[in-house]
Structure 1
């Protein structure tokens, strides 16, 4: 039997293995201008894709571009509540998970066989957000990664 240490065989397609959760190398990423910061698995999101549209921060991809992470601060000059800000964003229909408090909101769903996850914390004149997109078929592998990213978002 041939041993596969760096790849997984899935329906005859070889997909590079990603280091997940406990095996990943994590670093703190910060947007200095807004004070936003988050723990980020740099051994998973290895490609810097530049600034996001509509905010200050960065986008990152996995090497194979199957998943992406955006960390950004979006202007909220009226200091809208998370509920009002989310309503103004007009998220797509079919949200599977939604949690809204006075300090943050989280929404998530599935679109085109990919899970999208968005958490935004209310800041002083900003909404400080992480957005993660990854294959729905890999949900269990991503659960701990998404949880850690979400729970470490500050700002």
Structure 2
């Protein structure tokens, strides 16, 4: 059974990356020069540019458009704490995961068959965020990828 689950996860990731064979993700560091935000991203999975967010940064998506990644830095002019900033965004009531510390917040839930995950670190006058969306049916296959992206979010 474990072998079947592992094989299924590899097939899902192969589909996500757009290749016909399961291959390890190729990781690169993306940096926002204006704010010093940096994060490891699986560039072989999020291979397509998908526009710019508010503030500084970039959006990427998978070749098939099923998943997206936004790296963003935005001014925190009010100098809100992570809890206050998140409250101002009026998050939905049904959040499945929420962690708030004095330096960051991370929230996640599912909506319309899509898992959304947001992590924002706070430093100086900016909020540094990663926002990831992917199919809920592939959640297990995305766990390690989301964890690495989230934990690598950093700022100078």
How much does 1:17 deviate?
5.1
Distance 2:115 2:42 in 1: 18
| Deviation by residue 1:103-152 (Cα, 9 ceiling, x = unmatched) | 00000000000000000000211110000000000001000000000000
Unaligned runs of 5+ in 2: 1-9
State the match for 1:16 in structure 2. Answer: 15
**How far 1:93 sits from its partner (Å)?**
2.3
The number of aligned residues is: 141
Distance 1:40 1:115, change over 3 A: same
Distance 1:48 1:82, change over 3 A: same
Alpha-carbon separation, structure 2, partners of 1:17 and 1:56? 26
Normalising by structure 1, report the TM-score.
0.86
Counterpart in the other structure of 1:108: 108
Matched residue, 2:7 = none
Deviations 1:29-52 (Å, cap 9, x if unpaired)? 000101100000000000011211
Say which SS state the counterpart of residue 27 (structure 1) adopts. Answer: strand
Moved over 2 A (4+): 15-19
Residues 16 and 45 in structure 2, CA contact (< 8 A), matched pair in contact too: no
SS in 1 for 2:95: coil
Aligned CA RMSD, in angstroms, stands at 1.9
- Name the counterpart of 2:35: 34
The structure with more helix, counted as a fraction of residues: 2
User: What CA distance in whole angstroms lies between the structure 1 residues aligned with 2:42 and 2:123?
Assistant: 23
Q: Which residue of 1 aligns with 2:74?
A: 74
TM-score, normalised by the number of residues in structure 2: 0.85
- Residue 4 of structure 1 corresponds to none
Q: Which has the higher strand share?
A: 1
How far apart, in 1, do the equivalents of 2:151 and 2:113 lie? 25
